[in-house]
Amino acid sequence: MKIILLLLVVGAASVHSIEYYSTADDYMDMEGVVRDPAKLKAMTDCFLDSGPCDPIAQSIKLIVADSIARGCDRCNDAQKHLANTFCRGLFWKQPLVYKNFVNKFDPQGNFMANFMEAVKDY
């Protein structure tokens, strides 16, 4: 009986475990990207399909739409920090580009507020 109970507990825990996004670029200097207009433009051009992507921007681009739609529920703390820094920096430094970013990844306006709420303290 104890073995069955243990298997049920382990099985339930594995069903509810979160599969986080890849962690290869979690500790990049997003503050530096936001401070440097050329780097910020290069990253946003990549995200908006209006310019080439370097390997780091490309790896982030692969998860942007999903993370916005899911409220960053698969993001670890470092990824939430990157998302918060990027989005807030883009909003304040390039509001028109921010609007284009939101229009691309949340055209119906269903997800961005929840996403920003999820990353605001990081």
The pLDDT tens digits for 19-50 are 888 877 888 999 999 999 999 999 999 999 99
Amino acid identity of 58?
Answer: Q
Q: Higher confidence at residue 39 or residue 15?
A: 39
The average confidence (pLDDT) of the chain is 88
Domain extent at residue 56: 2-119
Structure tokens at 91: 């909003």
Query: pLDDT confidence of 9, banded at 50, 70, 90?
Result: very low
Q: State residue 112's pLDDT score.
A: 97
Here the CATH number for the domain that contains residue 58 is 1.10.2080.10
How far is the C-alpha of 59 from the C-alpha of 42, rounded, in Å?
14
User: How does DSSP assign 25-69, residue by residue?
Assistant: TTT--HHHHHH-HHHHHHHHHHHTTSS---HHHHHHHHHHHHHHH
Which among 25, 95, 18 has a CA at the least distance from the CA of 64?
Answer: 25
Long-range contacts of 113-120 (CB under 8 A, 24+ apart): 114/71, 115/67, 115/68, 115/71, 115/72, 115/83, 115/87, 116/84, 116/87, 117/71, 118/71, 118/72, 118/73, 118/75, 118/80, 119/72, 119/75, 119/80, 119/81, 119/83, 119/84, 119/87, 120/84
- Mean pLDDT in residue range 54-75: 95
Q: Higher confidence at residue 15 or residue 36?
A: 36
When divided into structural domains, the chain yields a total of: 1
Q: State residue 17's pLDDT score.
A: 75
pTM for this entry: 0.82
Tens digits of residue pLDDT in 66-82: 999 999 999 999 999 99
Q: State residue 99's pLDDT score.
A: 98
pLDDT above 90 covers a percentage of the chain that reads 78
